[in-house]
Amino acid sequence: MSQHRRFETQAIHGGYNSNEQMGSLVPPLFQTSTFTFPTAEEGERRFAGESDGYVYTRLGNPTVKVLEEKIAFLEQGEGALAFASGMAAVSATLFHLTKTGDHILCSEGVYGCTFGLLQLMKEKHHIAHDLMPLDNEDSMRAAIQENTTCIYIETPINPTMKLVDLPMIVRVAKERNIPVVVDNTFCSPYLQQPLTLGCDFVVHSATKYIGGHGDVIAGLVVGRSKEAMQEMAMTTMKDIGGVLSPFDAWLLLRGLKTLPIRLDRHCDNAEKVATELKKHPNVKRIYYPGDPEFPQYELAQKQMRKPGGLISFEIDGTKEDAQQLLNRLRLLKIAVSLGDAETLIQHPATMTHAVVPEKQRKKMGISDTLIRLSVGLEAWEDIWTDLEQALGAGKLSPTEPDRLQI
């Protein structure tokens, strides 16, 4: 498939040729653990890597392969691997890039379990890390050590939506040839393409926008170099073995077709809800890269196609007030995760970031009254009506709550 086709077209056709699969419009589901060899000699050739056929699904599967090729196209990488979860993708990448004695430089906020993984790597394997704001070249240069073998970034950072300037990171990393990894879960390749900005690896929790329907846990890694991805396939993927099941790959292929149109709607809805939230007297502050008053609004415009579907906001009050707000919701679902059709709301201090020590949490800007919203695909007016009544100054007429019980 030509790299020149547009994103929306690649999301549907990329990585798949129906003529090679008996004309099946949709990629077939190869739900098999192993593959037969016509002869013993062919088996020998496949194990020796001299023949292209499949061997065993942990080493490769045709359905999973379509997904890997499609995501590689969409991120403009040379190769990709699919994993059983976002964390399997993150851990495979970090173990690929480090050995005992090395050092990882990280953006200040990382996903809670990535934070847990970094702790584990430090305690069990003596792989050190530093979490830094990475907001200017000089402090970044000072933070890089002799043994730094990986720079690991999330942008926007969950849940405060702080951005990291990727071209700046790449500039400094290249001086020392240190690979840059970006967790692109919050954006998906439709909103941000770190490899085109010079980063080396992209990881995804495909559980979120890429799957998009809340029915699969999956992870993806895309690399700028084919060799690096082949090496990862034969080491941290094959030997640690957190591979994606063919059925889950098939679900992701289904989700990916509508990624651009879903994200357009997520982004439109988020913009409208953010505008209302910002005006509400009980909302102290919003964190949304599309807000013209967002401190990094310009960077968001430069680095991302659109500001995304996530909004965090702080309410006036206490932790209990934040919890009560969630309890008053009728349509919005209290749940972690993001990127689903359903609008999801959560309380980072007691949920996604409960594992982060309080002091560190406060430093990251996660107060007890901060709430994170993953804006879904419902009519935005219904999302806002529910939020508004829960915020305490609702204008609901008595009949409206019933309408929301759909």
User: How far is the CA of 381 from the CAs of 92, 119, 275, in angstroms?
Assistant: 42, 43, 12
Q: β-strands 219-223, 283-287: how paired?
A: unpaired
Q: Which entry of 46, 65, 162, 208 is annotated as an active-site residue? A: 208
Q: Does 111 participate in catalysis according to the annotation?
A: yes
Whole-angstrom distance, CA of residue 223 vs CA of residue 220: 10
Interacting residues with ligand PLP (CB under 6 A) = 85-87, 90, 111, 113, 154, 158, 183, 185-186, 205, 207-208, 217, 219
Whole-angstrom distance, CA of residue 223 vs CA of residue 230: 10
Closest to ligand PLP by CB, 63 vs 188, is 188
Q: Which entry of 111, 190, 209, 287 is annotated as an active-site residue? A: 111
Residue 245 per-residue DSSP state: P
Could you give the count of Cα atoms lying within 13 Å of 238 in the half-sphere of its Cβ?
A: 11
Whole-angstrom distance, CA of residue 330 vs CA of residue 401: 8
- Tracing tokens 């206490």 back to the chain, one arrives at 318
Contact 61, 46 (CB under 8 A): no
Closest to ligand PLP by CB, 144 vs 364, is 364
Closest to ligand PLP by CB, 144 vs 161, is 161
User: How far is the CA of 390 from the CAs of 41, 64, 121, 283, in angstroms?
Assistant: 68, 43, 42, 12
> Residue 239 is encoded by which pair of tokens?
């030997």
Smallest distance from ligand PLP to CB 6, Å? 26
Q: Which residue is nearest to ligand PLP (CB)?
A: 86
- Tracing tokens 């073995």 back to the chain, one arrives at 241
Closest to ligand PLP by CB, 91 vs 296, is 91
> Residue 48 is encoded by which pair of tokens?
């020796």
First to last CA, the chain: 42
Smallest distance from ligand PLP to CB 182, Å? 10
Smallest distance from ligand PLP to CB 338, Å? 6
Q: Does 54 participate in catalysis according to the annotation?
A: no
Closest to ligand PLP by CB, 113 vs 240, is 113
Q: Does 208 participate in catalysis according to the annotation?
A: yes
Q: Which entry of 165, 183, 200, 248 is annotated as an active-site residue? A: 183
Q: Which entry of 5, 45, 58, 278 is annotated as an active-site residue? A: 58
Catalytic residue ranges: 58, 111, 183, 208
